[in-house]
Amino acid sequence: MSTINIGPLGQCMRRSASGLSAILATLFGLVLVTFVIGRAMPVDPVLAIVGDRATPDVVARVRLELGLDKPLLEQFWIYLQHVAHGDFGTSVMTGQSVIADIRQFFPATLELATVAIFVAVLVGVPLGVLSAARAGSRLDGLIRLISLSGQSVPVFVLALLCLLVFYVKLGIAPGVGQQDIAYDGMVPFTTGALVIDAALSGQWDVFRDALAHLAMPALMLAFVSMSMIVRMTRTFMLDALAGEFVVTARAKGLSPMRILWRHAFANISGRLVVVIALAYAGLLEGSVLTETVFNWPGLGQYLTRSLLNADMNAVLGATLVIGAVYVASNFAADVAYRLFDPRVK
């Protein structure tokens, strides 16, 4: 029996359709999980809205308006329709729609994570390459010790230590928050990233203050992410430096720096992009403790306050957005891997 050759374009379309189906299935599972969590939590969303002292008539009326009197399958179908239209309900804590709150708080998390991953890559990749090039030396041991400490110390402990040393003892860093209270309200909300908004509006005093407040939490997160990037870069480079193509390059008399960067590092760039993309996604969805300690007005702090206030619409909406961001980051990492490494089919 002859086989039909669908060609490169057909293969690309088939892979794209398969990837899209996997993403949709994952997002559906994420919506299902958030719905189940919302119903399994020992918190009555009706009481969170009307309060403990509301009369039974009021509680019953609100429960009817929210559709919580319907069977679970029907409730899930309604929830799925609302989520598909970007409607996560209204936050009890802020009185706004959850999607409006997410638009307000998520840019601050994006600002913090972007600066952190930029610093982590700028420092971590060269250190990982240097560690592999000097494998077994004292310098390699020192770099590995630093990377190990970044993965061993809990984030909240590291955050508290940074505040204690640089803010309380040395006094060289500003306090918590995104800006000094004296500059509050001086910059219009454009992108949500205060450093960018201050620069766009020409408020350079606010820009310097916002940059100073951003430095400590961003550098702390960068240190944590850098630790993983250093270790993975070193592992990938050691594997590449042991390859036959490196032996051939040395036999041709190429310079060590050319072999290191043009041959070995180019060989690992695809895998390294995946690691960096996943580290960035981890910063976007895992900065809850950092934002809480530094009082950073991002999505992590919004999620924490929503949990403390039993604001389930906000909790489920923020959780769903964070999960969607992580799924999208994984998909982007997979695409980048295929672009950077032509050997992957």
DSSP-assigned states of every residue in 66-107: HTTTS-HHHHHHHHHHHHHTT---B-TTTSSBHHHHHHHHHH
The residue type found at 112 is L
Backbone phi, psi, residue 68, to 5°: -80, -5
Residues 215, 69 share a domain: no
List the structure tokens of 85: 């239209």
Euclidean distance between CA atoms 334 and 345, whole angstroms: 11
CA proximity to 91, closest of 35, 62, 49: 49
pLDDT on residue 91:
82
- Last residue in a domain, options 35, 53, 84: 84
What mean pLDDT value characterizes the chain? 81
> Is the CB of residue 230 less than 8 Å from the CB of residue 124?
yes
Query: Is 204 part of a structural domain of the chain?
Result: yes
Domain that holds residue 194: 105-340
Rounded-to-10 torsion of CA 328, 192, 111, 299:
-60
Cα distance between residue 41 and residue 312, in whole Å: 9
Q: Band of the pLDDT at 127, cuts 50, 70, 90? A: very high
Q: Over the stretch 48-88, which tens digit does the pLDDT of each residue have?
A: 666 667 777 777 787 777 677 778 788 888 888 888 888 88
d(CA 225, CA 150): 8
Residue whose entry in the numeric block shows the structure tokens 């308006």: 65
* 109 and 79 assigned to the same domain: no
Domain match, 212 and 73 both: no
Sequence-ordered list of residues with C-beta below 8 angstroms from that of 189, at least 6 positions apart, any chain: 104, 197
- Measure CA of the first residue to CA of the last residue in the chain; give whole Å: 25
Q: Assign 2 a pLDDT band (cuts: 50, 70, 90).
A: very low
Q: What is the tens place of the pLDDT at every residue in 182-226? A: 888 788 888 888 888 888 888 889 899 989 999 899 998 999 889
In angstroms, the CA 90 to CA 223 distance is: 37
User: pLDDT value at position 16?
Assistant: 61
DSSP states of 251-320: HTT--HHHIIIIIIIHHHHHHHHHHHHHHHHHHHHS-HHHHHHTT--SHHHHHHHHHHTT-HHHHHHHHH
Which has the higher per-residue pLDDT, 195 or 153? 195
Over residues 273-288, the mean pLDDT reads 82
Do residues 325 and 236 share a domain?
yes
Query: Is pLDDT above 70 for 279?
Result: yes
Q: Is residue 216 part of a domain?
A: yes
Query: Within a domain: residue 8?
Result: no
Residues 231 and 322 in one domain: yes
Residue 123 clears pLDDT 90, i.e. is over it: yes
Between the CA of residue 140 and those of 104, 129, 132, what are the distances in Å?
43, 10, 7
The pLDDT of residue 17 is 67
Judge residue 71's burial from the number of C-beta atoms within 10 Å of its C-beta, 0-12 exposed, 13-18 middle, 19 or more buried.
Answer: exposed
Judge whether 93 lies within some domain.
Answer: no
How far apart CA 161 and CA 170 sit, in angstroms, is: 12
In the DSSP assignment, the letter for residue 177 is: S
Residues 159 and 65 in one domain: no
DSSP state of 3: P
Q: Provide the number of structural domains found in the chain.
A: 2
User: Are 164 and 27 part of one and the same domain?
Assistant: no
> What is the CATH number for 251?
1.10.3720.10
Average pLDDT score over residue span 234-257? 82
Question: Which residues have a Cβ under 8 Å from the Cβ of 102 and sit 6 or more positions away?
Answer: 88, 299, 302, 317, 318, 321
Q: Same domain, yes or no, for 200 and 332? A: yes
Among the candidates 84, 117, 136, a domain finishes at 84
Tally: H helices and E strands in the chain: 15, 0
Same domain, 190 and 334: yes
Within a domain: residue 256? Answer: yes
Mean pLDDT of 323-341: 77
pLDDT at 345: 53
Tell whether the model's pLDDT for residue 46 goes beyond 80: no
Confidence of residue 1 (pLDDT cuts 50, 70, 90): very low
Residue 302 domain flag: yes
Asked if residue 3 is part of any domain, the answer here is no
In a shared domain, residues 40 and 161: no
Region 124-130: mean pLDDT is: 92
Gap between the Cα atoms of 128 and 231, Å rounded: 6
Is 218 in the same domain as 326? yes
**264 and 117: one domain?**
yes
**Which residues lie below 8 Å from residue 272, measured CB to CB, with a gap of 6+?**
125, 229, 232, 233, 236
Query: Within 10 Å of residue 211's Cβ, how many Cβ atoms?
Result: 17
Report if residue 258 sits inside a domain: yes
